[in-house]
Structure 1
Amino acid sequence: MKPKMKILINHPMEFLNCLFALGTDKGFLELIRDFDLEPNDKITGMLQEMKKPLSQYIQQELIYFFDASGLGFVLYKYIIFHVSSNKVTDIIELLQQENSDEFVFKMIECVCKNTLPAKGSPDYIALKGNKPGLLNLIGDTTVQDETRRDRILEAVENPEEVKQRFILLLSRFYNVGFAPFESEIRKIIEAEKPRYQLLLEEMPEMFIKQYLNLDSLEDSPGGYVLHLSFFKYVSCHAYSSYREDIADWFVLGIYSDLLFNESVAAEKQAQFFKVLSDVKRIGIIRLLSERPWFGQELAEALDISPPTVSYHIGFLQQIGVVNFTRTDNRFYYSLDRSKLLKPLEDFIRSLQQS
């Protein structure tokens, strides 16, 4: 039985990816260049135009919530649990109706995954709205940088203010930045969608291995959603619902097929060694050689942020040495030793034969 997967264009998810692209500023374009690709004029031009009408305050808020240390990642929780809401304004309305303490608690769930009590347990329930308890929880949590800790502490101390700041940012940016380009963005994605749809339908195993970096997808009652993204640009990111009845999401950059263009053996070898030439990626490989790890664990062990882990994992998946699987409602990364060793053995063999 093939896993259920629906390819769609979800405007709120694309809005989220756009916010990250602007919040990380030049870092976003560098991520694309690290794949040995040059961002096309469409994306660089659109980001520049979106930024022009924003006040200095909104630009600062973009960085605050959506840079590497930001807490804007919480927005995905409202998106994947309301897949039928395909309007950004609907998601903003959900946020406006949300209790501010519940909103901040969702942020804490993103930051303190490893130190939270079991979901639904009395200790877990008792934390909601319990400011001293939340401050203690944050104090007991290993974070990757003090900026992120400071921001989550500020959210606990001032939940309503942080919620209103977040809503103001989303509302203002949507109205003057994103909305004027929303139709154009959809047309760009729709133009690229047919070939991915065809690949998924005709060669599902290849699609899952090549584009999602998975050996297989297990059957899930909630199924899977694949959002094609202009602002993700290349590679894939997974968002787990951590619930059996709600779909897990994959966000795939519409130019990801550029990563799989055929090249000569020497170019492939050069790319392989280039990917391995980063100390953090070597650290990830060493840890994964011990056992499978999930993203938050890797971030804490290497003292880097979860987005940084995802960034480096993307390169390791590009050369096929890292896979991930869903176990106990978490995505675990594992090392594919054969795909790591074979290029090394081939390179050594080529030297011995020369």
Structure 2
Amino acid sequence: MGIALDEEATAMLEGMIGRLSRHVKREMHLLFGQSTLYDRLDAGLYHVFFGSEETASTRDWLDRYSSWNALDLVYMLLEAVYESAGIDWLEGHAASAVRTDAQLLPLLAAAHPLPDAELHAELLDCARYPEEFKQRTVLLLDSFWTHAFLPERERLAAIGAEGARKYEALFAEEPENAFARVARIDPMLVTKRTRVHVSYISQVCMFFNAAEWNEDACSWMSLGYFNDALERRQADKDMTEKFLKVIADKRRLDLLELLKSRNHYAGELAQLMALTPAAINYHTNLLIDLGLIRITKADGRIYYELDAEKLSSLMDQAKRTLLN
């Protein structure tokens, strides 16, 4: 996407990692993996979070997870992993039956090996010992909350509040643009009350959850703190494309070359370039639209004047877009 983590976020993440034990990091690697998809424990965490409007803080979220049925937590983990792998592991059984059957769940998992044999063996242990799995994950989440999250909580809250104010103003002033280029969703999807989370860690993020399994639950939208920067980058790309198309014509380059030395009126340009007045008008309009030239009046005539600063700015912008 062309957007790198800023220095504060990089330092924050490095600090979080440095405060975690090797055991916790190994457990996180196993249960969360390296993917940005919700394909392991994170899928269950999201389900727990979105399932209640009473979740007002991270601690509420973890307490809600701690009170969840252990077998159901294991089922959500397995379902996410098998769905990500593209494996139909339920063999026609209803999900509602599998997630409550402590004998059937491990049997189905054992019957459907994963390409990653080590991961499959770990998942089988989780399926066979659901209470132990729950204790492991509660310990893992509590350790991350205490050592990694709490030291950054106040700063994250402040940054999130800044982002909330920024997006609140943007959605109020330009709702169509905000939905299309910042949230990247169709506003018609928002059919009920929606809570918005502004993420600083996921600095570019467009996520919408309609909570379709529960008509009474509100929807959730997650936006990255720098989504608007991505929108600006797209606008820069659009402008660069337009600029390069305009200056790709030799006649317009010749026109800019003539205006570099001094201002000219239309008749002069037509004569010097051997073009009709209509053709001059066509080419100058394209350059005016980009702000590369402007119209001035002198001696009762209309002159065209080169905006050298604008040309330099667009050249720099093209360089940034193509090379950065």
Give TM class, smaller chain: 0.5 to 0.7
Say if 1:265 and 1:209 are closer, same or farther in 2 by CA, change over 3 A.
Answer: closer
Please name the residue that 1:234 is paired with. 204
TM-score by length of 2: 0.62
Say if 1:137 and 1:213 are closer, same or farther in 2 by CA, change over 3 A.
Answer: farther
Say if 1:224 and 1:97 are closer, same or farther in 2 by CA, change over 3 A.
Answer: same
Question: Equivalent of 2:148, from 156, 167, 177?
Answer: 177
The one-letter amino acid of 2:170's match is: L
Q: Tell me whether 1:245 sits opposite 2:211 in the alignment.
A: no
Residues 178-231 of structure 1, C-alpha deviations (whole Å, 9 max, x = no match):
11110111111212222211121232222211122223323534x322211001
1:91 is paired with a residue of what secondary structure?
Answer: helix
Q: Is the 8 A contact 1:239 1:248 kept in 2?
A: yes
Please name the residue that 1:263 is paired with. 236
The one-letter amino acid of 2:205's match is: S
**Shift, 1:160, TM fit:** 1.2
Counterparts of 2:217 and 2:144 in 1: how far apart (Å)? 29
1:217 is paired with a residue of what secondary structure?
Answer: helix
Q: Is the 8 A contact 1:92 1:170 kept in 2?
A: yes
Please give the residue correspondences for 1:24-173 in structure 2 after superposition, counting only pairs within 5 Å. 35-67=1-33, 68=35, 70-112=40-82, 115=88, 123-138=94-109, 149-173=120-144
Say if 1:115 and 1:193 are closer, same or farther in 2 by CA, change over 3 A.
Answer: same
Q: Is the 8 A contact 1:232 1:251 kept in 2?
A: no
Q: Is the 8 A contact 1:208 1:217 kept in 2?
A: no
**Shift, 1:173, TM fit:** 1.2
Structure 1, unpaired ranges of 5+: 1-34, 270-354
Counterparts of 1:171 and 1:140 in 2: how far apart (Å)? 33
The one-letter amino acid of 1:256's match is: N
The ranges of structure 1 where at least 4 consecutive aligned residues each deviate by more than 3 angstroms after the TM superposition are 108-117, 121-125, 135-152, 264-269
Counterparts of 2:97 and 2:237 in 1: how far apart (Å)? 59
Please name the residue that 1:214 is paired with. 185
Please give the residue correspondences for 1:246-325 in structure 2 after superposition, counting only pairs within 5 Å. 246-261=217-232, 262-263=235-236
1:249 is paired with a residue of what secondary structure?
Answer: strand
Say if 1:144 and 1:192 are closer, same or farther in 2 by CA, change over 3 A.
Answer: farther
1:233 is paired with a residue of what secondary structure?
Answer: coil
Residues 261-287 of structure 1, C-alpha deviations (whole Å, 9 max, x = no match):
232558569xxxxxxxxxxxxxxxxxx
Counterparts of 1:268 and 1:155 in 2: how far apart (Å)? 53
Say if 1:102 and 1:57 are closer, same or farther in 2 by CA, change over 3 A.
Answer: same
Say if 1:235 and 1:89 are closer, same or farther in 2 by CA, change over 3 A.
Answer: closer
Say if 1:186 and 1:219 are closer, same or farther in 2 by CA, change over 3 A.
Answer: closer
1:263 is paired with a residue of what secondary structure?
Answer: helix
Say if 1:237 and 1:146 are closer, same or farther in 2 by CA, change over 3 A.
Answer: farther
Please name the residue that 2:284 is paired with. none
Q: Tell me whether 1:187 sits opposite 2:158 in the alignment.
A: yes
Which piece of structure 1 moves more, 187-196 or 162-171?
A: 187-196
Q: Is the 8 A contact 1:236 1:251 kept in 2?
A: yes
Say if 1:259 and 1:268 are closer, same or farther in 2 by CA, change over 3 A.
Answer: farther
Please name the residue that 2:280 is paired with. none
Q: Is the 8 A contact 1:63 1:70 kept in 2?
A: no
Say if 1:220 and 1:141 are closer, same or farther in 2 by CA, change over 3 A.
Answer: farther
Counterparts of 1:143 and 1:155 in 2: how far apart (Å)? 15
Question: Equivalent of 1:204, from 164, 175, 193?
Answer: 175
Counterparts of 2:42 and 2:4 in 1: how far apart (Å)? 27
**Shift, 1:252, TM fit:** 0.9
The one-letter amino acid of 1:41's match is: E
Say if 1:140 and 1:176 are closer, same or farther in 2 by CA, change over 3 A.
Answer: same
Q: Is the 8 A contact 2:199 2:205 kept in 1?
A: no
C-alpha RMSD of matched pairs (Å): 3.1
The one-letter amino acid of 1:73's match is: A
Say if 1:264 and 1:156 are closer, same or farther in 2 by CA, change over 3 A.
Answer: closer
Say if 1:86 and 1:268 are closer, same or farther in 2 by CA, change over 3 A.
Answer: farther
Percentage identity across paired residues of the two chains: 22
Residues 133-189 of structure 1, C-alpha deviations (whole Å, 9 max, x = no match):
324544677968556544433321221111111111111111111111101111112
